[in-house]
Amino acid sequence: MTALTLSTAGAATLRADAVVVGIAKGTGPKAGPVVAPGAEAVDKAFGGKLAGVLETLGASGAEGEVTKLPSPSGLKAPVVLAVGLGTAPGKDEAFAAEVLRSAAGAAARALTGTKKAAFALPVEAAEDVAAIAEGALLGAYTFTAYQDGKGAKAPLAEIALIGAKPRDKAHKAAAERAITLAEEMNRARDLVNTPPNDLYPESFAAVATAAAKEHGVKVQVLDEKALTKGGYGGILGVGTGSANGPRLVRIAYTHPQAAKSLAYVGKGITYDSGGISLKPAGHNETMKCDMAGAAAVFAAVVSAARLGLKVNVTGWLALAENMPSGTATRPGDVLRMYSGKTVEVLNTDAEGRLVLADALAKASEENPDAIVDVATLTGAMMMALGSRTFGVMANDDAFRTAVHETAEEAGEPSWPMPLPADLRKGMDSPTADIANMGERMGGGLVAGLFLKEFVGEGITWAHLDIAGPAYNEGAPFGYTPKGGTGSAVRTLVRLAERTADGELG
């Protein structure tokens, strides 16, 4: 992974292949771009005319805009890369963390194939160090495991963060946290991007087991035999059609001084064909990403362990492959779930809620202070919120608000969604306790209501439907690559931090 250092050197004197500076949109009707704090030495090398040169080249300072130009004499780096920061903040105001994070990511992406870059973006506090470091490390991500290396460029190899203070405890801690978070988010991205012929329930469980042992986290894997003995009808019902058997992985981090415990539950459908309710062509090509929720939970638990958070965090990875075959679950079949409830399966392509239901019921037995499940659950949520925002539902309004605020603080767009009681009736079944489908309208909310049925009584619970932002099918933007994004990892980690600090519950 890309290396990160905090440097006391000046932007003009540090030896690097490129120096990154920020420019903002000036205010006023005739205002052009303005050079952002941190770039003073670079501007001086241009004779104080860097903003004018950039404007001549068409730069405006808009967010995410990237402009490269050769360096004048006086700079050690041969290339200057100016990245837009949007409208310049007012007096006594600073650039928002997400603006810096996104700008650093855009710059790092533009420097793919470069060995070393100096980032001279605005740094006033440890929060700025964290944002720039996160953005740059996440933006430098590439997935080239299946390419021969001849055509693929290597990611930016080294980042020197100028303006940060390596001996300042807060700055150093911010950088170390950013490195941990980026490494685990990129691990989640790798998992999402791995083809399903190589990532299936057993191999995913093996990855989790190896990482758990490396970081001193306890892990337990239930295979088909154990799942059958335990009565996990939902997970088994989804996985029964595949040659690759299902797994339920429990990965647990504990801290001796923890006062609170969290349970994270992740949907891990390593490939979703839809089962007997087969997806049509055009809807199944990216379904390797249907395990993004489990990847996020896995990454969050390992992050909590590496950061030494004073909170107990248990992750449940509900892993299965949803395939059609002579042994697959059929529409009309009834499954007896781990909780004892029976579910009539009306659509085998509504499989995520079935594996999550078993995992939620099992997680509830440990009576955590809160449960959060994460899943690429419904296309309906994408229709409602688009491809960059995930929905937040909960059985407690205050907790839903807290999760939403935590996500926004972490830099992940989210939106609180309701769980209307009137939609529950649509899942009534004449044969079983509940059906796995209800009304078509409000399908994302119906799925949330289904999951709520399997949460233990009195346990606070939230559901994150990350169907939109988990996998980017469009062009890269900011620090977000094409493909797996690592959605929800930062939210889960920040939620664990807030819980450890006594801010929640």
Question: Cβ distance 94 to 38 under 8 Å?
Answer: no
Q: What is the pLDDT of residue 265?
A: 99
Q: What is the pLDDT of residue 51?
A: 96
- Cβ atoms within 10 A of the Cβ of 138, count? 29
Q: Considering the chain, what percentage of its residues have pLDDT values greater than 70?
A: 100
DSSP, residue by residue, 178-245: HHHHHHHHHHHHHHHHS-TTT--HHHHHHHHHHHHHHTT-EEEEE-HHHHHHHT-HHHHHHHTTSSS-
Q: Given 172, 279, 336, 341, which residue is catalytic?
A: 279
Please, is 408 exposed, middle or buried when counting C-beta atoms within 10 Å of its C-beta (0-12, 13-18, 19+)?
middle
Q: What is the pLDDT of residue 413?
A: 98
C-alpha closest to that of 355 among 337, 330, 332: 337
Structure tokens at 160: 């020197």
End-to-end CA separation in angstroms for the chain: 36
Tokens 């994004």, located at residue = 485
Backbone angles phi, psi at 250, to 5 degrees: -110, 120
Distance CA 160, CA 10 (A): 11
Structure tokens at 359: 């995992």
Give the chain's length.
Answer: 505
Query: b/e per residue, 435-472, with b = 16+ CB within 10 A?
Result: bbbbeeebbbbbbbbbbbbbbbeebbbbbbbbbbbbbb
Paired residues of 87 in beta bridges: 25
Question: Cβ distance 295 to 471 under 8 Å?
Answer: no
Distance CA 182, CA 186 (A): 6
pLDDT over 80 (residue 436): yes
Q: What is the pLDDT of residues 213-269, one digit of tens each?
A: 999 999 999 999 999 999 999 999 999 999 999 999 999 999 999 999 999 999 999
Backbone angles phi, psi at 30, to 5 degrees: -115, 10
Q: What is the pLDDT of residues 376-433, one digit of tens each?
A: 999 999 999 999 999 999 999 999 999 999 999 999 999 999 999 999 999 999 999 9
- 225 among known catalytic residues: no
Amino acid identity of residue 215, one-letter, is H
Q: What is the mean pLDDT of the chain?
A: 97
Distance CA 487, CA 185 (A): 8
274: left (phi over 0), alpha (psi -120 to 50) or beta: left
Positive or negative, the Cα torsion across 287, 387, 464, 340?
negative
DSSP 287: G
Backbone angles phi, psi at 315, to 5 degrees: -110, 140
Structure tokens at 391: 């929905």
Question: Cβ distance 497 to 124 under 8 Å?
Answer: no
* Residue 439 binned pLDDT confidence (cut-offs 50, 70, 90): very high
Q: What is the pLDDT of residue 70?
A: 97
pLDDT over 80 (residue 29): no
What's the mean pLDDT in 25-29? 81
Q: What angle do CA 469, 291, 236 make, to 5 degrees?
A: 145
The helix (run of H) or strand (run of E) holding residue 66 is strand 66-70
Amino acid identity of residue 43, one-letter, is D
Distance CA 254, CA 305 (A): 8
Q: Is the pTM of this model over 0.85?
A: yes
pLDDT over 70 (residue 30): no
**3-state DSSP assignment of residue 296:** helix
Q: What is the pLDDT of residue 149?
A: 72
Q: What is the pLDDT of residues 330-356, one digit of tens each?
A: 999 999 999 999 999 999 999 999 999
Please, is 72 exposed, middle or buried when counting C-beta atoms within 10 Å of its C-beta (0-12, 13-18, 19+)?
middle
The Cβ-side half-sphere exposure at 361, using a 13 Å CA radius, reads 20
The Cβ-side half-sphere exposure at 344, using a 13 Å CA radius, reads 14
Distance CA 361, CA 53 (A): 62
pLDDT over 80 (residue 505): no
Distance CA 204, CA 360 (A): 20
Q: What angle do CA 223, 460, 357 make, to 5 degrees?
A: 30
Q: What is the pLDDT of residues 32-55, one digit of tens each?
A: 899 999 999 999 999 999 999 999
Distance CA 473, CA 387 (A): 9
Q: Given 101, 177, 288, 353, which residue is catalytic?
A: 353
Distance CA 167, CA 164 (A): 9
- Cβ atoms within 10 A of the Cβ of 378, count? 23
- Cβ atoms within 10 A of the Cβ of 18, count? 21
Higher pLDDT, 31 or 83: 83
* Residue 112 binned pLDDT confidence (cut-offs 50, 70, 90): very high
Q: What is the pLDDT of residue 308?
A: 98
- 15 among known catalytic residues: no
Q: What is the pLDDT of residue 384?
A: 97
